[in-house]
A and B are shown apart, each in its own frame.
Chain A
Amino acid sequence: MTPTSVGDPILNIAIFAAFVIITLVIVIRASRNNKTAADYYAAGRSFTGPQNGTAIAGDYLSAASFLGIAGAIAVNGYDGFLYSIGFLVAWLVALLLVAELLRNTGKFTMADVLSFRLKERPVRMAAAISTLAVCFFYLLAQMAGAGGLVALLLGINDKFGQGIVIAIVGAIMIVYVLVGGMKGTTWVQIVKAALLIIGAGIMTIWVLALFGFNLSELLGAAQANAPEGKDLLAPGAQYGLTDLSRIDFLSLALALVLGTAGLPHVLMRFYTVPTAKEARKSVVWAIWAIGIFYLFTLVLGYGAGALVGADAILAAPGGVNSAAPLLAFELGGTVLLGIISAVAFATILAVVAGLTITAATSFAHDIYANVIKKGKVDPNGEVKTARITVVVIGILSILGGILAQGQNIAFLVALAFAIAASANLPTILYSLFWKKFTTRGALWSMYGGLGTAIFLIIFSPVVSGGAINEATGLSSSMLQGVDFQWFPLNNPGIISIPVGFLLGFLGTITSSKKEDPKIAAEMDVRSLTGYGAEGATKH
């Protein structure tokens, strides 16, 4: 293995190109019927539960899941596993409290539900802003992942070359979303989810076979290969060092479990199915697919620890994120590495496409059509705005990706979750379950939760003043050489999530203006029975 890259870059590119061509054909075929706004944003509500569930898994199992978690387990052992548990249990919040009620009361975006019985324009604006903020952090994470992968797989180590590859990935993504809309994007997610789960499954069985299908032996081998004094099998290797890092971990756990049901690109997927029952089925499919995949990453992470070793992983160009690709190389040489890296690229591509269409929909449907144009815009004009937004967001995410290279992606995603849990979830739950909830409560909760989360992130070690790595002399923060950090935690969730809930409550009880009880009754009835919900469009 050369220190600059592993495998055969030409082969890696060829397999990835094959994926792009196949999915592009699917996207073009799927998009033939894209006519209305419901087609473009919600795929004509024509997907079945299992299809949509697979697509949700595709949306959710991002590069952070595959590369980030496997890497975290390989290097930090048990503490990496904790990520995947939070990511999975979170789906119960979506299943029990959000998915069906949301499908029954909305049309395209989270803001549709919130503005159902509250004052429309301010609430819509707030919801759109927090949607865009969550999408931004999530996009940054995915693009950072792309950079690391490029370094590892194509042997491109200079920033300029990596930037060009990120730009190419971004450009392909823009084409997918522009041409395919939600339907095309959904098919890309489905193909990608299937490839990812099958690929991870094959590697899992392979690793287990090497250890005689004995989990205990695999764990023992990983521990034997661990750096001196590090216990990979017990919790604490990453977060157990100080009291502060323990609280940081608690904060992360809170953000993970409450964030999922507030992620706008996940919420938007519930509108691509015809009924609430199908929305429920999609979540059930997603839970099984995601759960089984995380069990795979447990084996892959420890497998990478045992067969590649934490030191070799950290020394590789992609750092922590290179554990899964290095394991693939160890197992199946250049061919398996090529396949797995193409899958990882596809993962980034598909997730970025899903995020982009969500952000574009939110901008075009919520901000442009309903706030700026006050609803006086024909659907064609709205879709046109959405398409322009896609290009703008695509370019922004390419630039962001170039800037965010080298950050741990699982951790960047955790920030997106913290914002979603602080700004979106409180308002969603209040408006679905609390009849007295008011516009002021919604605005306080959304702006307060979002503002607190972002404010704390800016003054956290994530942005400046992080610990200096003695080997490289670089700080772990985004900005080097400055230090205006005073908030000690990496993840703001433990403060900002309660703030979001509390402000929603306080805003509501201090409102002098009550909301219309008749509309509240309408929302109540619709959310539970599905009466009046827009069904599938027929072509």
Chain B
Amino acid sequence: MENSAPPANQELFVAAEQSEKFNTLKKRHRSFVLPVAVLFLVWYFVYVLLADYAHEFMATPVFGNVNIGLLLGLGQFVTTFAITTWYVSYANRRLDPLADEIRTDLENQEAGR
């Protein structure tokens, strides 16, 4: 009843999942999103711990009334924007073409069955 837009053929999916193309896609996806997720979470928690336990350090003035804490906080904005842009360009180059190819293959097989 659920998720059955085209007639589901499970053998088709099992074969597709084991195909080389799909494995490449899965590897490309995971080898990007998982390390990057770990990276930004670590950076976020380092920042949070500094804000929580290193008040003196964060209050060190850099110029005028702007201190290290504010710069690191703004740094979180910069890295968030940067990772977003990076992922989009990676997905456009490395993920989407392959995913489209596999999907088209599946649709053709489905139609030819």
Residues of A at under 8 Å CB distance from B? 78-79, 81-82, 85-86, 88-89, 91-93, 95-97, 105-107, 112, 115-116, 120, 214-217, 219-220, 223, 231, 233-236, 239-240, 246, 249-250, 253, 257, 277, 280, 283-284, 287-288, 291, 294-295, 375, 433, 517-519, 521-522, 524-526, 528-534
From 26 to 78 in chain B, residues with beta carbon under 8 angstroms from any chain A beta carbon are: 26, 29-30, 32-33, 36-37, 40-41, 44-45, 47-49, 51-53, 55, 58-59, 63-67, 69-70, 73, 76-77
Bound complex: CA of A340 vs CA of B103, how far in Å? 48
Please determine whether A216 and B102 come into contact, CB atoms closer than 8 angstroms: no
Please determine whether B70 and A522 come into contact, CB atoms closer than 8 angstroms: no
Counting residue pairs across A and B whose Cβ atoms lie within 8 Å, the total is 172
A82-B51, A524-B26 are known contacts; what are 4 more A-B pairs with Cβ within 8 Å? A249-B52, A253-B45, A375-B1, A533-B5
How far is the CB of B110 from the nearest CB of chain A, in Å?
A: 9
**Can you show 19 pairs from A to B with CB atoms below 8 A apart?**
A85-B77, A89-B44, A92-B36, A95-B87, A96-B32, A97-B33, A217-B64, A219-B66, A220-B65, A223-B65, A231-B59, A234-B67, A240-B55, A246-B52, A253-B52, A257-B44, A295-B77, A518-B13, A518-B14
Bound complex: CA of A176 vs CA of B25, how far in Å? 42
Bound complex: CA of A235 vs CA of B106, how far in Å? 54
Q: Contacts A233-B65, A519-B10, A529-B99 known; A78 to B51 CB distance under 8 Å?
A: yes
A-chain residues with CB within 8 Å of residue B84 when the two chains form the complex: 91-92, 95, 283-284, 287-288
Which of B2, B8, B83, B88 sits near A115, CB closer than 8 Å? B2
Please determine whether B10 and A521 come into contact, CB atoms closer than 8 angstroms: yes
Q: Contacts A85-B73, A522-B10 known; A105 to B87 CB distance under 8 Å?
A: no
Bound complex: CA of A58 vs CA of B99, how far in Å? 31
Instruction: Give the secondary structure class of A's interface.
Output: helix
Bound complex: CA of A246 vs CA of B52, how far in Å? 6
Please determine whether A234 and B59 come into contact, CB atoms closer than 8 angstroms: yes
Please determine whether B2 and A120 come into contact, CB atoms closer than 8 angstroms: yes
Which of A93, A235, A518, A530 sits near B69, CB closer than 8 Å? A235
Residues of B at under 8 Å CB distance from A? 1-3, 5-6, 8, 10-11, 13-14, 16-17, 22, 25-26, 29-30, 32-33, 36-37, 40-41, 44-45, 47-49, 51-53, 55, 58-59, 63-67, 69-70, 73, 76-77, 80-81, 83-84, 87-88, 91, 96, 99-100, 102-103, 106-107
Q: Which 5 A-B pairs have the closest CB atoms?
A: A216-B64, A234-B59, A219-B65, A522-B13, A235-B51
B-chain residues with CB within 8 Å of residue A91 when the two chains form the complex: 80, 84
B-chain residues with CB within 8 Å of residue A524 when the two chains form the complex: 13, 17, 26
Q: Which of B29, B65, B91 has the most CB of A within 10 A?
A: B65
Please determine whether B81 and A116 come into contact, CB atoms closer than 8 angstroms: no
Which of A86, A105, A528 sits near B3, CB closer than 8 Å? A105
Which of B17, B25, B47, B77 sits near A294, CB closer than 8 Å? B77
How far is the CB of A206 from the nearest CB of chain B, in Å?
A: 20
Q: Contacts A219-B66, A529-B25 known; A235 to B37 CB distance under 8 Å?
A: no
A-chain residues with CB within 8 Å of residue B65 when the two chains form the complex: 216-217, 219-220, 223, 233
